């Protein structure tokens, strides 16, 4: 038993009464004077009750589709503090798709989080209608997904540099494939020559270049672009890029021929964890989950390349929209899943709601499968004017 009395020899008995010192008699006037002192000391009156909560009846019961608020399951404190009227006002401004000469587009991005829900730097960057190409009659959309400690710097650099290289080359060469190939090569060279450490940092890039009804896609890594086609009421998702991952046979063979190694990470007991990754033959680095990337000097020693895979398409009257997104979308959603999310809004020409809903569904998919979440970026391009 812990002793709490100054005299250790004294212990109260069970039936023994212990007298406590009496409190001084306080008068109401004394309390009021103390209250005045508190008011003078900090200038505010102490709260003696909890703040009043707004009644649920104050929240609008019905909202129109264009005024709808897409609720992500994780709500920031800033959004909690906004009143319903304020949120609706912001939502009306937010749900406005931007226009381009071929139709409308909407762009959304959200930073990922770690397994303990700690937020991280958003390493995604979006390329949206650079002016330097618009003046030449070309429209460009793209997503750069950075990785590594300096991945955000690499993706931001690609966003600025790649369109400028395309602009400088586009009038010197008729072969668009050669132009795009050269632009990626020059961009990657500048990344390597920069002062930014890209030994273990880099970025994937997927881009779509449009001129009238001609479309060129260029992809480096595991981001993706699809076309949603509606022919006689039947929707179809058409993938217009190819993912570059170690489990793709020709990509895997290129890594092995370059002296790299392809295998999953191992736990303490030697069991495989997660997807296959690219490693150097003699050390467990860099561990990339893609086989093509800009930057990544160590990965290049294992066969990782920055050469884009380029495809050319002719748009038809049935092509309704293009979805370009980082692998944060495609990790747990298939092409058909994405198409089914956006097409109800595309049919009503609510392009911004389509992108908003795709963002929400991507976040929910991560929550169902993982404690962490990757950065998520999507661009929905509506092809009808």
User: pLDDT (tens digit, 9 = 90+) per residue, 228-245?
Assistant: 999 999 999 999 999 999
Q: Is 19 left (phi over 0), alpha (psi -120 to 50) or beta?
A: beta
Tokens encoding 103:
């139709």
Nearest by Cα to 105 from 359, 358, 375, 349: 349
- Contact at 8 Å (CB) between 266 and 272? yes
Q: How far apart are CA 247 and CA 257, in angstroms?
A: 15
Look up residue 190 and give its two tokens: 């500048």
230 phi and psi angles, rounded to 5 deg? -120, 105
CA distances from 229 to 9, 102, 239, 318 (A): 91, 16, 11, 5
Q: What is the pLDDT of residue 173?
A: 86
Assigned token pair, 55: 């009644």
Sign of CA dihedral 185, 189, 192, 196: negative
Q: Is the pTM of this model over 0.85?
A: no
pLDDT of residue 74: 39
Say if residue 13's pLDDT is above 80. Answer: no
Around 211, how many Cα atoms within 13 Å sit in the side-chain half-sphere? 10
Query: Mean pLDDT over all residues of the chain?
Result: 83
- Report which listed range, 22-26, 42-46, 360-364, is most confident: 360-364
319-325 and 124-128 strand pairing: unpaired
**pLDDT at position 337 over 50:** yes
* Angstrom distance (rounded) from CA 200 to CA 324: 26
Tell me the mean pLDDT in the region 120-149: 96
Tracing tokens 């007298």 back to the chain, one arrives at 19
pLDDT exceeds cutoff 60 at 341: yes
Helix axis angle, 176-193 to 151-170, nearest 10°: 140
Residue 52 has pLDDT above 60, yes or no: no
Integer CA distances (angstroms), 343 to 84, 237, 336, 374, 378, in order: 28, 10, 10, 24, 15
Q: Is 99 left (phi over 0), alpha (psi -120 to 50) or beta?
A: beta
Q: What length does the chain have? A: 385
**Residue 107 φ/ψ, nearest 5 degrees:** -135, 130
- pLDDT digits 0-9 by tens, 79-125: 445 555 555 555 555 555 677 776 899 999 999 999 998 999 999 99
CA distance 97 to 349: 9
Q: What is the pLDDT of residue 98?
A: 76
What single DSSP character describes residue 325?
Answer: E
Residues 56-86 have pLDDT tens digits of: 333 333 334 334 334 333 344 444 455 555 5
Give the H or E element holding residue 75. Answer: none
H/E element, 82 = none
Cis peptide upstream of residue 172 (ω within 30 degrees of 0): no
pLDDT in tens, 172-195: 888 999 999 999 999 999 999 999
């Amino acid at each position: 038993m812990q002793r709490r009395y100054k005299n250790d020899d004294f212990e109260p008995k069970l039936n023994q009464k212990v007298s406590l010192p009496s409190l001084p008699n306080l008068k109401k006037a004394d309390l009021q004077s103390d209250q005045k002192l508190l008011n003078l000391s900090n200038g505010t009156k102490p709260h003696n009750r909890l703040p009043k909560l707004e009644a649920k009846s104050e929240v609008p019961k019905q909202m129109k589709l264009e005024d709808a608020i897409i609720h992500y399951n994780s709500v920031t404190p800033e959004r909690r503090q906004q009143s319903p009227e304020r949120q609706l006002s912001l939502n009306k401004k937010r749900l406005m798709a931007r226009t381009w000469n071929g139709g409308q587009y909407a762009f959304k991005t959200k930073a990922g989080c770690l397994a303990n829900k700690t937020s991280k730097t958003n390493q995604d960057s979006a390329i949206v209608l650079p002016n330097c190409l618009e003046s030449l009659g070309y429209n460009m959309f793209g997503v750069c997904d950075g990785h590594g400690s300096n991945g955000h710097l690499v993706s931001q650099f690609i966003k600025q540099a790649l369109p400028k290289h395309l602009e400088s080359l586009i009038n010197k060469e008729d072969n668009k494939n050669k132009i795009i190939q050269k632009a990626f090569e020059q961009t990657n060279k500048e990344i390597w020559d920069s002062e930014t450490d890209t030994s273990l940092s880099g970025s994937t890039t997927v881009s779509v270049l449009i001129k009238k009804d001609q479309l060129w896609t260029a992809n480096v890594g595991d981001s993706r672009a699809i076309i949603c086609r509606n022919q006689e009421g039947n929707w179809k998702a058409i993938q217009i890029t190819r993912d570059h991952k170690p489990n793709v046979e020709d990509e895997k063979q290129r890594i092995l021929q370059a002296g790299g190694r392809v295998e999953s990470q191992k736990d303490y007991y030697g069991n495989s964890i997660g997807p296959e990754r690219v490693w150097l033959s003699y050390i467990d680095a860099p561990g990339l989950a893609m086989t093509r990337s800009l930057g990544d000097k160590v990965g290049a020693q294992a066969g990782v390349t920055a050469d884009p895979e380029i495809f050319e398409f002719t748009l038809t009257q049935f092509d309704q929209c293009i979805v370009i997104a980082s692998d944060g979308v495609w990790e747990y959603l298939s092409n058909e899943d994405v198409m089914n999310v956006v097409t109800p809004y595309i049919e009503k020409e609510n392009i911004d709601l389509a992108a908003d809903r795709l963002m929400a569904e991507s976040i929910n998919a991560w929550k169902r499968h993982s404690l962490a979440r990757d950065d998520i970026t999507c661009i929905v391009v509506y092809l009808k004017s």
